[in-house]
Structure 1
Amino acid sequence: MSDLLRVENLGISFGGLRAVNQVGFSVKPGEILSVIGPNGAGKTTLFNMISGIYMPGDGRVVLNGDDVTGMRPDLLARRGLSRTFQNLQIFQNMTVLDNAIAGYHLTESGSLLADLFRLPGARARVRAAREGAMALLARVGLDRAAETEAGSLSYGKLKRLEIARALALDPKVLLLDEPAAGCNAVETEEIDQMIAEVARSGVAILLVEHDMKMVMRISSHIVVLDHGEKIAEGDPATVSRDPQVISAYLGTEAAEAADA
């Protein structure tokens, strides 16, 4: 099975400080690859290079066989790469349904005149977006809250809504930046079940997460960063027992999670 995403020796510096240095890995359809490491290890910087927010100083990003290094996020989204962020990017005063519909705007085609005069093509696009958004909300368990103002939802449900909106782009590769941050144990379990279900549909998932029990439970593969360098890579059991990883970051928590 060919790689959907391949990261080749990515590196970047800020003001002489090497934030990420020669990091590489690949993700296949249906895999969940987690990137872990202490705060300041370079995880989000790595995500920002892959998703087109930062231009790498070195290396390449290859998406579905094409070199997309430094490509704008909107163009990457059209090619099948979508992401969420550490901080929620939700329209709090809009309904849950309208937030989900917003995810379809990037891939919609049509003219301004058609939208302005509500021509049949425009009405059909609106109807299709609404139907698609409702299907996504059902997929993440939020369909009954469709007409609820998003700002009234719990934090865990807002996280699920953000993932639903990212899925509106029908991604081949989905980058999730701390999707369980701030969630309680029940919400975290709901989110990791949802991530696993998305992966089973064939989407390649790249995950940054600090909840080690969640990481060990759902990851196919793990990459460990420390001070911008990749210090380990492998399946959860292998990584959790790596002496260098334990020393740099995990302590005994990961080994306990892997054995649980």
Structure 2
Amino acid sequence: MTSTTPNDTDVLDFWSGGAGRWRVERDGEVQYISDGRRTFYRDSNGAAVELSGRGIRMPWLTTHISPIDLVGQSGVLHQMTRDVIALTTPVPVRRDGRPAWSTLLGRPGLTITIDDRSGLIVELSSGRGFALTVTSLSSGPVDDDAFAWPWPGNPPVEEVISDRQRTIDRSAILEAITSAVDRRTEVLAAIASSTVVDDARTAVAGLLGTDEAGTDAVLAMQLRKFTRFEREKIRDEAENLRALLDNANDATNG
């Protein structure tokens, strides 16, 4: 998201109602809304776009950080707290008048601060000048209307997806990821030689022959997926889904 302030600082307001419910605003405009079942975000043209739960989707809004990158199980902060190891003993600090804990993470110059009461990440900073800070953190009841459709008109009709279709979609995503880990050297070279994300998407799609969903899944992969253990897990899941679909087809044809 491009900064709207003179000092190149983005100010975002977050509301969380539990059970996957989120609302994110910037300058009073809703950028991201989820009622726990359906999730929408505002794209660069101002249109509301639904985030599908089928497979892995990563909306590339701009080169800057966005609400999509921050919240949910695939959010960068959740992934970092799950996968990155603390290098130093946490020390007590205060942020925005509240007690918190700060520690250096398992990469040079990256420091994380966690609120003592809520367990939320309230500050993330690096030695290269990047910083993310949560201020005015508070708790209390949030009206259900805060997570309702916030834009003019009605939300699009929800598409009903069968379990079989979900399996087919997941299998297609895994096939794309399997192809990427098998050709990881070529994939990394294609991404590294790209100037912008759109160039990387085109290069990966051309290299692997993947569709839009598969290409975005490859671009959203974590580097740990290239380890031998993770590669074997991906192949095993892909093979299991192929067998499941083959058995279902045989039963239908029989």
Question: TM-score w.r.t. structure 2 length?
Answer: 0.21
Structure with higher Rg: it is: 2
Question: TM-score w.r.t. structure 1 length?
Answer: 0.21
